[in-house]
Structures are given as C-alpha cells and as structure tokens.
Amino acid sequence: MTPSLFLSLFVAAVAAQGRSSGVNQRNSTYHCCDQPAIKFDRHCGNTWSNDQKTFAYYKLSGSRKGCKLPCKELNDGRMLLEKCVEVQVSVVHKKGGGSVMEERISFTPLPCSAPALAPGSVGPLLLLLPVLMMMIGHMISV
C-alpha cells in the first residue's frame, strides 16, 4: 500500500468516526415545586454542572458517586436538588461493541404555578398563623 493511499484511507476512517461519535445536545425542564428533582439513567455515566462548575457525578458502575450543593441527594436514578438552578448534564452511554455515545442536556427549572409553593418560600397563611393564634387565644380568654 502506498503512503498516499494509506493516508487517504486513514483520513476517511477518522472522518467517519468523527461523524458517528458526535455529541447529541438537547434541552429539557424540571419542576421546582415540592422537592426539585432530575431523573437520570443509572446505566450511564452522568456529570452535572451549574455555571460550568461540577457539583455531582455518577459513574457507570454506580459504585462511585458524588453530590454537593445544589445537589441534595443522588439515589435510585434521581437527583434531588436543594434549590432550583440551571443544570447541565453530560451523559456517557456505553453501547455494544465498545462504542460510546455522549449526550449533553441543559435542564431549565419550571417555576411553580403558585409562587407561595416554591421550595424555601413561606406561604402567606403561614405568616399569619401567629396573629391568628393570638386572636383565638384572646377570644377564648374573654
């Protein structure tokens, strides 16, 4: 095989590999009411980040994982969040034959329909509870 033919075949093989191993990118959302959570595939490697800073990871075997704020807990295919933030996740899927597919997903939090129900917020009735208790106590003592 001549060097130029070898080089041509090599370049064609690299180009074909580059096309087949592209990174899929997509956008998704998650709800911020109650306990914010994002589901993930436990059969894939996952790395989560916010503002380009990694805050959680889950390795393919599941034996290695890490979670720090805003991550609250990482178990059973679900990551619980301490607060609602933009989240980017890089997912690595191992396929048969040793091939690997990478996917990047950008998660945007969906606000609650009722702002008083968002995690960490206190509803207006809860703020009035001490006043109501004092009024009821005063009415009973009279």
Task: For residue 90, tell me if it sits in a domain.
Answer: yes
Task: For residue 96, tell me if it sits in a domain.
Answer: yes
Task: For residue 78, tell me if it sits in a domain.
Answer: yes
Task: For residue 9, tell me if it sits in a domain.
Answer: no
Task: For residue 66, tell me if it sits in a domain.
Answer: yes
DSSP tag of 42: T
With tokens 């990482």, the residue in question is 74
State which H helix or E strand residue 57 sits in.
strand 53-58
Supply the range of the domain harboring residue 80.
30-114
pLDDT tens string 76-93: 899 999 999 999 999 998
So what's the pLDDT on residue 127? 56
Task: For residue 139, tell me if it sits in a domain.
Answer: no
Q: Which is nearest to 54 in space by CA: 39, 63, 66?
A: 66
More confident of the two residues 6 and 72: 72
pLDDT at 62 > cutoff 80: no
Task: For residue 15, tell me if it sits in a domain.
Answer: no
Strands 100-110 and 24-31: parallel
Domain count for the chain, please give it: 1
**What CATH number is given to the structural domain containing 45?**
2.60.40
Task: For residue 60, tell me if it sits in a domain.
Answer: yes
Query: What's the mean pLDDT in 24-46?
Result: 92
Collapse the DSSP code of 43 into the 3-class scheme (helix H, G, I; strand E, B; otherwise coil) and give the result.
Answer: coil
State what percent of residues in the chain have pLDDT above 90: 45
